[in-house]
Structure 1
Amino acid sequence: MVASFNLEVFDAKKIDKQVALLQDIYPDDTVFAVKKRIAKEKPSLSIERQALRLDPKGKALKDEQKLSDLGIAKNAQLYVRDLGPQISWKAVFLTEYAGPFFIYPLFYMRPSFIYGQEAGAKPISHAVTLACICWCAHYAKRLFETQFIHRFSNGTMPRFNLLKNCGYYWGFCAFVSYFINHPLYTAPYFGLLQIYIGLAGFIVAEFGNLSIHILLRNLRPEGTKERKIPKPDGNPLSCLFNLVSCPNYTYETLSWLFFSIMTQSVPALLFTIAGFVQMTIWAQNKHRAYKQEFKDYPKGRKAIVPFLI
């Protein structure tokens, strides 16, 4: 019979402060099991708030790791960092995407308190109407994906990030929609040709983005954190996986690039650039993680832009 042992847990910020002394811990216990024990001892430190580490400045341990695999012996020590109040990723996504979905149409309707009393009498360009439809369709798709498609590897995130994320999406929405829906908006230089080229590209990119999200969902069985090398699944739009690790970000960038072409809007282009910069950072991180985790990961893939980045 495997003997149990005691496990001391200290504060990662104040290493001389003991948070809990856990008795009857076994080598086959997982990090998650230890978190549950800590939460029982310290109700204010819920499971979601905990980041367990082998040393105060080390990396957070994964929930599924066993203590025996971590080399933790009798009378060992762990360090816990309080991550602060948490909120579920799903709640964050639903909130940050709902804002643009409802905010943009307000500008399209040209309320007098934004554009003045006579704004509603001005004609609305065909490109402006299509832009409103495309914008709302994009965020309706995001809300649908969040509720029914995405499977989150992490259950929660710091509550403070909700303000930051909503500020980004809601703020850019107001910035972009204010100028596109302005009574003085000028239609694209090349007229309907430019509008419909932008619209067609936007639609294709949106379907491409959706197809990648469905593929990624199917890679991870429900209730697990299993990871596999993503590969095309027969859908022609998923073939971008042959070139980049994160084609969902590639398609997302293309969506807003074509939206910018359709509207000939500088604010929309700035939104596209800002999003591309952030998604490039995420894509490069994921690309490195894939290469470290899978020895047979395709060497020809880039992170987000084929052959370049």
Structure 2
Amino acid sequence: MSIKINVYTVRNASLCTVTVPATATIKDVKVEIAKTHKKIGVERQSLRSDLKGKDIDNKTTLNTLGLENGCTIYVKDLGPQIGWRTVYLIEYLGPPIVYAIFASRPSLFYKNADLPMSTTAYIALGCWTAHYVKRLYESAFVHRFSHGTMPLRNLFKNCAYYWGFAGYVAAHVNHPLFTPPGPLQVAFGTSLFVLSELGNLSIHLLLRDLRPAGSTVRKIPVPNSNPLTQLYNFVSCPNYTYEFTAWLGFSILTSCIPALVFALAGMYQMTVWAIALVFALAGMYQMTVWAINKHKAYKKEFKDYPRRKAIIPFVL
């Protein structure tokens, strides 16, 4: 049995009429709309059963919604789309390049550019580069995306954030006036960064193995034999926890606040510390929002979801 569906825009203007089986899914309806209006591809469409209703999931069937022959459905054009994997590759490719330009061509940005670059600055360069090389590797070979695309306009916002912060941090850490902190602080910051990066990668590999290739299967993530995944016993999003502690380690690695030094160099190093810390905290805020939303989604989806916090063990 087939049913006819009247398709309207969210501005309540008639768009077309499509015919689909009564057992069809929302994805099937989108495919038929795309055949009629090729400029509005499947990925660009957001369907809702009420003019001011919420977007309907692709896997939802028409009979579940109670839609019958002659019913009306509303479509919103989400605009040009771009694949999530492509987005990640573009936004993560910029930061190591921008940072390397500041480190390798100081004469483009500073006076006294002939001063030697400190060992700590080289370590920071290595950490920064390794972080984004890891992200590029994960984007290409590890991550499995439940959503195929995102609005193209978001790419420019994301690139502005990642590329802009790369230049902002690199401009200070690679400045000729940069005075590195003591060796113990550098060692601690570097160790925290490396451990957190390994932990973050471990979580991403666990999540990849949790979802079979080509599927959108969702399961409750639990620790595996890797000790760095044990953080799942305490939080829902340990990848965000590790991400924050990695940048906290980077902040510790690159900071230097000499006691009782009021010279310009000392004041400059306080600026370095402040900027690095703000960078870490800004990332922590955004990751906390993502973690809380994902934590709520887990609890709503899985009735037997274990007792955990969202991102900070025992706290939040």
* Same topology, TM > 0.5: yes
Q: Deviations over 1:132-179 (max 9, x none)?
A: 000000000000000000011111111110110000001111000000
Pair 1:249-2:247 in alignment: no
Superposition pairs of residues 157-196 of structure 1, within 5 angstroms: 157-188=150-181, 191-196=182-187
The TM-score with structure 1 as length reference comes to: 0.95
Could you tell me which residue of structure 2 aligns to residue 284 of structure 1?
292
Give the deviation of 1:266 after TM superposition. Answer: 2.4
Superposition pairs of residues 291-302 of structure 1, within 5 angstroms: 291-299=299-307, 301-302=308-309
Superposition pairs of residues 127-276 of structure 1, within 5 angstroms: 127-188=120-181, 191-264=182-255, 265-276=273-284
Give the deviation of 1:233 after TM superposition. Answer: 1.1
- Structure 2's unaligned 5+ residue stretches are 256-272
The TM-score with structure 2 as length reference comes to: 0.93
Residues of 1 paired with 2:95 and 2:171: CA distance? 12
Give the deviation of 1:111 after TM superposition. Answer: 3.0
Give the deviation of 1:109 after TM superposition. Answer: 1.5
RMSD: 1.0
Match of 1:42 among 34, 37, 47: 37
Equivalent pair of 1:110/1:181 in contact (CA under 8 Å) = no
The structure 1 segments of at least 4 consecutive aligned residues displaced by more than 3 Å after TM superposition are none
Match of 2:75 among 80, 91, 94: 80
Residues of 2 paired with 1:212 and 1:57: CA distance? 38
Could you tell me which residue of structure 2 aligns to residue 66 of structure 1?
61
Equivalent AA in structure 2 for residue 166 of structure 1: C
Q: Deviations over 1:207-229 (max 9, x none)?
A: 00000001111111111111111
Equivalent pair of 1:198/1:261 in contact (CA under 8 Å) = yes
Residues of 2 paired with 1:259 and 1:229: CA distance? 31
Q: Deviations over 1:245-284 (max 9, x none)?
A: 0000000000000010011132221110110000000000
Residues of 1 paired with 2:7 and 2:235: CA distance? 42
Q: Deviations over 1:51-108 (max 9, x none)?
A: 0111122221111121112211221111111101111111111111000011101111
Match of 1:109 among 100, 104, 110: 104
Residues of 1 paired with 2:212 and 2:126: CA distance? 34
Equivalent AA in structure 2 for residue 302 of structure 1: K
Residues of 2 paired with 1:55 and 1:302: CA distance? 35
Number of residue-to-residue matches in the alignment = 299
Q: SS of the counterpart of 1:51? A: strand
Match of 1:20 among 8, 16, 20: 16
Residues of 1 paired with 2:148 and 2:220: CA distance? 22
Equivalent AA in structure 2 for residue 306 of structure 1: P
Q: Deviations over 1:8-54 (max 9, x none)?
A: 11112x12x1111012x212111111111000000111111100111
Equivalent pair of 1:22/1:37 in contact (CA under 8 Å) = yes
Q: SS of the counterpart of 1:115? A: coil
